[in-house]
Amino acid sequence: MTVATALLIRPAEDRDLSAIADIYAHHVLHGYASFETVPPDAAELGQRRAAIVAKGLPYLAAEIDGRIVGYAYAGPYRPRIAYRFAVEDSIYVASDAPRRGIGRALLAALIDDCTRQGYRQMVAVIGDTRNMGSIGLHAALGFRVVGTLPSIGFKHGRWVDSVFMQRPLGRGDGDLPAADPGSR
pLDDT digits (tens, 9 = 90+) for 77-86: 999 999 999 9
Rounded-to-integer distance, Cα 13 and Cα 169, Å: 26
Q: Does any domain span residue 100?
A: yes
Residue 1 has pLDDT above 50, yes or no: no
Contact 13, 45 (CB under 8 A): no
List C-alpha distances in Å: 168 to 27, 140, 141: 28, 14, 11
CATH number at 129 reads 3.40.630.30
Q: Does any domain span residue 45?
A: yes
Q: How confident is the model at residue 183 (pLDDT cuts 50, 70, 90)?
A: low
Quick one: pLDDT at residue 106?
Answer: 98
Q: To 10 degrees, what angle do helices 42-54 and 17-30 make?
A: 110
Q: Does any domain span residue 69?
A: yes
Contact 143, 165 (CB under 8 A): yes
Quick one: pLDDT at residue 10?
Answer: 98
Q: Does any domain span residue 182?
A: no
Q: Does any domain span residue 13?
A: yes
Number of domains present in the structure of the chain: 1
Q: Residue type at 25? A: A
**Which domain covers residue 111, as residue numbers?**
7-168
Q: Does any domain span residue 51?
A: yes
Does residue 28 sit in helix, strand or coil?
Answer: helix
Mean pLDDT rounded to a whole number for the chain: 95
108-111 long-range Cβ contacts below 8 angstroms, 24+ apart? 108/141, 109/9, 109/58, 109/60, 109/72, 110/58, 110/60, 110/72, 110/73, 110/74, 111/141, 111/142, 111/167, 111/169
Phi-psi region of 14 (alpha: psi -120 to 50; beta: other; left: phi over 0): alpha
List C-alpha distances in Å: 128 to 49, 91, 108, 135: 24, 14, 22, 9
Q: Does any domain span residue 181?
A: no
